[in-house]
Structure 1
Amino acid sequence: MSDFTSNFWSIYVAGITIIGIIGCGLLLWITSRKKVEATADNTTGHVWDEDLTEMNNPMPRWWMWLFVLTIVFGFGYLVAYPGLGTFKGQLGWTQLGEYQQEVEKANTELQPLYARFASMTTEDMAKDPAAMAIGERLFMNNCAQCHGSDARGSKGFPSLADGDWLHGGAPDDIRKTIHDGRVGVMPPMAAAVGSPEDVRNVTHYVLSLSGSPHDSLRASLGKSKFAACAACHGMDGKGNAALGAPNLTDDIWLHGWGEAAITAMINNGKTNEMPAQAGKLTDAQINVLTAYVWGLSHKAGASR
């Protein structure tokens, strides 16, 4: 990335800025020294379209001083704030510092709002309309971009409303996922499984685990080769929440369903990341968001 960045552009912009300010000052100085000789009727003697006469009315003095103050302000701004290359300004102002101050101010103002949820359990918060309204806003602002506004996800982004959890669906598991993030890794397994035919046979065995359409003969041949996958998914294919290994028996496919998708997964592997939210949200906000997410899969009639 360093090949595409340098100090040239910051110096270039700073140079143009300074030249522009100095140029404005020179223009004012030059024009203020130029005197137009007026005729007896206070005109410059220039006439257009036979009767359009230019009057000799100089710019008001106060208007000139506004330009001068603007120039002085420009130099003062460059001294106080960053604007001259890598110079940080005498006030030490930064966008990041401004943002952090605004966040701290907002968190301080919102602290009393979250305080009443601190002593509530996740289950109780999930029943509280006020907590769920706040949780929904937090979800829409921070989670819906990946999981969707209905929390049902899409290819590569898990649904949070179906009760199927890669890393566990208990409140503490969800809270840890939101707080710390998760990195899920499915390594390429073709070499461990065997030949391309063996990979295809394992694919059909995996399809058979969920009752999906498959070739029963290939599935029977792939069962023994599935041992290479059992270390994470278990011999029964029900997965392992401690490893984030998905359940292969429930017909829920995060990265696509069918022979081609599963074969590609075995051959190429996959890495997925859920970014940590601890740097964006306070513990109180994560607490409420946890209750909202937990409640999505614990509504009446939700799939378990």
Structure 2
Amino acid sequence: MSDFTNNFWSVYVAAITVIGIVACLLLLWFSGKAKAMTAHDNTTGHVWDGDLREMNNPLPRWWVWLFVITIVFALVYLALYPGLGTFAGKLGWTQAGQYQTEVDKGNEAVAPLYAKFAAMKPEDIAKDPQAHAIGERLFMNNCSQCHGSDAHGSKGFPNLTDSDWLHGGTPEKIMETITLGRVGQMPPMAAAVGTPDDVKNVANYVLSLSGSPHDSVRAALGKSKFSACAACHGSDGKGNQALGAPNLSDDIWLHGYGESAIIAMVNNGKMNQMPAQAEKLTAAQIQVLASYVWGLSNGAGPK
């Protein structure tokens, strides 16, 4: 990727742009100077289909001026706006800057709408019909792509309507998650657990914690090997929200259910990421959105 970040490509694009404009100027100039050999009837002597002759008439003036105006426009544009490699243009315009200006303008327009929720508790915001409608739209636009339009999630994406929370389900924790994002990582643990047979035994012990179907003999053998997992998930397998370590005893499986899924997790590890929304949403929007999500898992929507 280093080839796409050095100065060569900036110079290359600028050179192609300038050469193209200069080539158009030269073509226009030479075409005006060139004299074609013509017969007494002002034809070039080229004949097609027996009687179709090419006349030696100059381009209409308006057409020529269109070429000239186009070239002048290109030069003025490149002086004012970015287009010549890293040259920013005299106006200092950027696509990101225009986007941010429009976002700020939109946020300023809706700020009074959110002002009424600023002093409200998250529990009260979740019950407010207007806040609920706003939160639902924010969720559909920013969260439903991963968690689903019904917030029930899917494999690898948490269900937001139950009481199972990796990092905590209080309004404050949900707001923190939305604002800063989360990175969840389980390293491959096969080497720490032992042999492939040990991994299989641990998988059955993990299944036994939630009362899921399992091989009881293997589960008994895997209990001692679970100590390699207890540092994060706890000796009882109930997880650790401070680390984002899942509760293994509640029969909720984020990345797949069953012996083979757990073995794959132990062998390969897993990394999940929720992107931070602080640069995308305002603090007021995050407050309403977090209250809406909290309401989904606590049945606290408007009556």
Question: TM-score, normalising length from structure 1?
Answer: 0.87
Superposed displacement of residue 159, structure 1: 1.2
Q: How does 1:46-57 map to 2 (within 5 A)?
A: 49=49, 52=52
Superposed displacement of residue 174, structure 1: 0.4
**CA–CA distance in 1 between the matches of 2:71 and 2:300?**
67
Which residue in 1 is equivalent to 2:113?
113
**CA–CA distance in 1 between the matches of 2:54 and 2:28?**
21
Which residue in 2 is equivalent to 1:146?
146
Could you tell me the percent identity over the aligned residues? Answer: 73
Judged with a 3 Å threshold, the aligned counterparts in structure 2 of structure 1 residues 4 and 38 are, in CA distance, closer, same or farther, namely closer
Which residue in 2 is equivalent to 1:184?
184
SS of the residue corresponding to residue 163 of structure 1 reads coil
Which residue in 2 is equivalent to 1:204?
204
SS of the residue corresponding to residue 272 of structure 2 reads strand
**CA–CA distance in 2 between the matches of 1:158 and 1:87?**
45
SS of the residue corresponding to residue 226 of structure 1 reads helix
Tell me if 1:98 matches 2:98.
yes
**CA–CA distance in 2 between the matches of 1:39 and 1:295?**
89
Judged with a 3 Å threshold, the aligned counterparts in structure 2 of structure 1 residues 246 and 61 are, in CA distance, closer, same or farther, namely same
CA displacement 1:25-61 (0-9 Å, x = unmatched): 2222233335679999887787655665666664443
Range moving further from structure 2, 114-123 or 33-42: 33-42
**CA–CA distance in 1 between the matches of 2:38 and 2:265?**
87
Which residue in 1 is equivalent to 2:137?
137
Aligned residues: 301
CA displacement 1:234-257 (0-9 Å, x = unmatched): 232222212211111111111111
Amino acid across the alignment from 1:201 = N
**CA–CA distance in 2 between the matches of 1:167 and 1:197?**
32
Superposed displacement of residue 88, structure 1: 2.0
Superposed displacement of residue 214, structure 1: 0.3
Which residue in 1 is equivalent to 2:235?
235
Give 5+ residue unaligned stretches, structure 2.
none
Question: TM-score, normalising length from structure 2?
Answer: 0.87
SS of the residue corresponding to residue 21 of structure 1 reads helix
Judged with a 3 Å threshold, the aligned counterparts in structure 2 of structure 1 residues 3 and 17 are, in CA distance, closer, same or farther, namely closer
Judged with a 3 Å threshold, the aligned counterparts in structure 2 of structure 1 residues 260 and 59 are, in CA distance, closer, same or farther, namely same
Which residue in 2 is equivalent to 1:170?
170
Tell me if 1:21 matches 2:41.
no
Range moving further from structure 2, 252-261 or 23-32: 23-32
SS of the residue corresponding to residue 273 of structure 1 reads strand
Which residue in 1 is equivalent to 2:61?
61
Give 5+ residue unaligned stretches, structure 1.
none
8 Å CA contact retained: 2:127, 2:300:
no
8 Å CA contact retained: 2:182, 2:274:
yes
**CA–CA distance in 2 between the matches of 1:45 and 1:202?**
92
Tell me if 1:224 matches 2:224.
yes
Aligned alpha-carbon RMSD (Å): 2.7
SS of the residue corresponding to residue 214 of structure 2 reads coil
Which residue in 1 is equivalent to 2:125?
125
Q: How does 1:53-92 map to 2 (within 5 A)?
A: 58-92=58-92
**CA–CA distance in 2 between the matches of 1:46 and 1:232?**
87
